Every structure is written in structure tokens, then in C-alpha cells.
């Protein structure tokens, strides 16, 4: 997952799958214990968060979900390849008060300084193949979690709540190695397979809305149950730490253990139900695969 966040952002879904497969083979050769089929979505993804992202206009394909996770987890400021404007639309929905800047504006640096000082989110659109040198003090900042002094045109105090998103609409940009070392490159360029997935999700949602609605309800319910389970486990640990004498005489601890066990069993049942519903949705999706493929093919013929 860490390697995926660091290295796979610029690549297409097919190439990412190929690299993950090779990494898995290397782990096998080194006799490192691992879980089969692991990927960034399974390790770092959360179904409820993904559902919330979809409501904020994130496309419903695997590539877009992976990109959103990288966007959320990366430690360097993201530079996003976004010719279809899907990423910028998603980010604007996540950050409704985001400030939109363009490098060639006369007041670019002044507005950027104000955003940094007040901790606002900024989206820089129209990035070319060369990054503005004025961004270097921000891109090379040693820590994004501390109030430190940085200098653009003036000496200002960096606010940790500041966020930066850089967008290029060029579908195939060539950045220098020096520029790429300063950022996390994320490729939101839509591919034929990714568009097929997006269109398939739209068709299924239109033709079989009940299944999609049921799946969303299960995601929310599962997230709530998991939260209850974690709270119960934390309470058990706290009670064990505070307990003195014979643990079997601690009625509150015994009751909490029983409650945790009950929640765990209910969650397991819920997860089985969720898996069955997902299988039904997958079967229904297959009925419309040819429609999605044809629509995707038409799109790429037109452009």
C-alpha cells in the first residue's frame, strides 16, 4: 500500500495491476508473509468513505477510487493529470470553499500567501510542464503539520490547515525529474476500461436501483457496526487496565465482553449478507457489460 501511494499514481490501471503482481511475486520469493490479493483499495480503503466520495462526484471505477486514496494519503502535494476534469470536480465538492488560482495571474503569489496564512485550500489550474519556481518553498516544506516560517514574496507563517492541489489538463505531460521529486503525480486520465466501469455503474444504478440502494445501506450499517465494535474493544482494554483483583468479579467488564461478542457475531452475519448482495449486483452488472463497452468505445471513437 505504501509503495502504491508513492509510485503507482502516474500509471494506468492495467500497468498498476501488472506492477502489483510483480511485487507480490517478489514477496513470495523472499518468503515474506502476506495476504493474497492485497491492493491499495483493500488495505487503505474504507467502504463508507468511498460511498461518501461517490456522493461528492468521484467516478465509480476502481482507478478513480485508488486515485482518491492516493490523494488522501500522499505526503507530498499532489500534481494531478486531469484532462476530463473529473478530479477537479471531485475536489471542489470535497472543498466547497477552495480558492482557484492560475500561475499567470498578476496576484498569484499574493493570493497564495493569503491562503497559506489563513489555512485555506487552493487549487492551481493550468499547470504546464514546468512548475512555477515560486511554489518551491511550499513543495519543499519539511513538515505540513507545524506552524513554520516560509518565504514567497514575503515572510509568512505556514498554517497546517492549508491544502494544495495542482491540476494539469494535458493528458500526456512531460515533467522533469526535479519537478516530479517535489510532488505526488496522480493520473486521472480516463482509460477505456475505466470508462467502461463508470458506465457500467451508471447503467446498473439506472436499471437496478434497488440493489444499489441496498448495497449502500449495508455499507452504512457495516460501518456503524464496526464503529460500535471498536468502541466496545477500547472499553474492554480500559476496564482491564483499571481493573484490580479478580477479573471474574468485575461485572461491568463481563457485561462489556458479552456485548462485544454479540456485536462481533452480528457484524459477521451482516458481512455475509453484504457479500451475497454484492454477488447479486455483480451478476446483474454482467448483463449490461456489453452496453458499457459499446458506449465506452463510441466515446473514444468520437474524441
User: pLDDT of 201-247, one tens digit each?
Assistant: 888 888 888 877 777 777 777 777 777 777 777 777 777 777 777 77
DSSP track, 145-183? SS--EEESSSEEEPPTT-EEEEEE--SS----HHHHTTS
Mean pLDDT of 180-203: 90
Q: What is the reported pLDDT for 211? A: 74
> Pick the residue with more confidence: 219 or 295?
295
- DSSP secondary structure letters along 210-226: HHHHHHHHHHHHHHHHH
Residue of 166 and 214 predicted with greater confidence: 166
> 147 near 157, Cβ under 8 Å?
yes
Neighbours of 296 (CB within 10 A): 21
Separation of first and last alpha carbons in the chain: 34
pLDDT at 25 over 80: yes
Length, in residues, of the chain: 303
State the average pLDDT for the chain: 86
Give the residue, 82 or 276, on which the prediction is more confident.
82
Looking at residue 183, its pLDDT comes to: 94
Q: Answer whether 93's CB lies under 8 Å from 118's CB.
A: no
Look at residues 13, 53, 32, 1 and name the one whose alpha carbon lies nearest to residue 197: 13
Distance in angstroms (rounded) separating the CA atoms of residues 62 and 67: 9
Higher per-residue pLDDT: 80 or 270? 80
Q: How confident is the model at residue 14 (pLDDT cuts 50, 70, 90)?
A: confident
Note the pLDDT of residue 181.
92
pTM for the model stands at: 0.81
Q: Would you say the C-alpha torsion 147, 150, 152, 157 has a positive or negative sign?
A: positive
Q: Are 41 and 69 in contact (CB under 8 A)?
A: yes
Sheet (strand 78-81) strand order: 99-101, 121-124, 163-168, 78-81, 184-187
pLDDT tens digits, residue range 107-123? 999 999 999 999 999 99
Sign of CA dihedral 218, 224, 228, 233: positive
104 vs 80, residue with greater confidence: 80
pLDDT at 279: 75
Residue 64 pLDDT more than 90? yes
Rounded Cα distance, 200 and 286, in Å:
9
Whether 215 contacts 277, CB under 8 Å: yes
Nearest to 68, CA basis, from 5, 142, 22: 5
Measure the CA–CA gap between 138 and 148, rounded to whole angstroms.
11
pLDDT at 249 over 80: no
Chain mean position to CA 47 = 11
Query: How many Å separate Cα 178 from the centre of its chain?
Result: 26
Q: Give the tens place of pLDDT for each residue, 259-278.
A: 777 777 777 777 777 767 77
∠ Cα 121 127 130 (to 5°): 125
Amino acid at each position: 500500500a505504501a509503495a502504491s501511494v508513492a509510485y503507482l499514481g502516474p500509471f494506468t490501471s492495467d500497468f498498476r495491476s501488472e506492477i502489483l503482481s510483480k511485487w507480490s511475486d517478489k514477496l513470495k520469493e523472499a518468503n515474506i508473509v502476506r495476504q493474497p490479493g492485497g491492493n491499495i483499495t483493500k488495505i487503505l480503503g474504507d467502504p463508507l468513505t468511498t460511498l461518501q466520495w461517490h456522493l461528492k462526484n468521484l467516478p465509480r471505477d476502481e482507478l478513480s477510487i485508488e486515485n482518491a486514496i492516493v490523494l488522501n494519503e500522499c505526503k507530498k502535494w499532489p500534481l494531478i493529470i486531469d484532462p476530463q476534469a473529473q478530479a477537479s470536480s471531485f475536489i471542489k465538492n470535497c472543498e466547497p470553499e477552495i480558492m482557484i488560482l492560475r500561475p499567470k495571474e498578476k496576484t498569484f503569489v499574493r493570493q497564495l500567501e493569503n491562503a497559506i496564512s489563513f489555512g485555506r485550500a487552493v487549487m492551481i489550474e493550468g499547470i504546464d510542464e514546468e512548475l512555477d519556481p515560486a511554489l518551491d518553498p511550499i513543495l519543499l516544506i519539511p513538515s505540513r503539520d507545524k506552524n513554520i516560517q516560509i518565504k514567497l514574496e514575503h515572510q509568512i507563517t505556514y498554517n497546517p490547515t492549508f491544502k494544495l492541489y495542482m491540476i494539469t489538463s494535458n493528458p500526456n505531460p512531460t515533467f522533469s525529474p526535479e519537478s516530479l521529486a517535489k510532488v505526488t503525480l496522480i493520473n486521472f486520465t480516463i482509460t477505456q476500461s475505466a470508462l467502461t466501469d463508470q458506465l457500467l455503474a451508471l447503467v446498473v444504478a439506472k436499471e437496478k436501483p434497488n440493489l444499489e440502494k441496498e448495497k449502500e445501506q449495508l455499507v452504512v450499517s457495516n460501518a456503524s457496526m464496526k464503529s460500535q465494535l471498536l468502541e466496545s474493544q477500547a472499553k474492554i482494554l480500559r476496564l482491564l487496565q483499571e481493573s484490580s483483583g479478580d477479573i471474574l468479579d468485575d461485572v461491568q467488564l463481563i457485561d462489556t465482553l458479552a456485548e462485544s461478542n454479540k456485536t462481533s457475531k452480528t457484524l459477521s452475519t451482516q458481512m455475509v449478507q453484504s457479500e451475497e448482495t454484492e454477488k447479486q449486483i455483480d451478476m446483474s452488472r454482467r448483463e449490461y457489460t456489453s452496453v458499457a463497452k459499446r458506449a465506452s468505445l463510441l466515446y473514444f471513437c468520437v474524441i
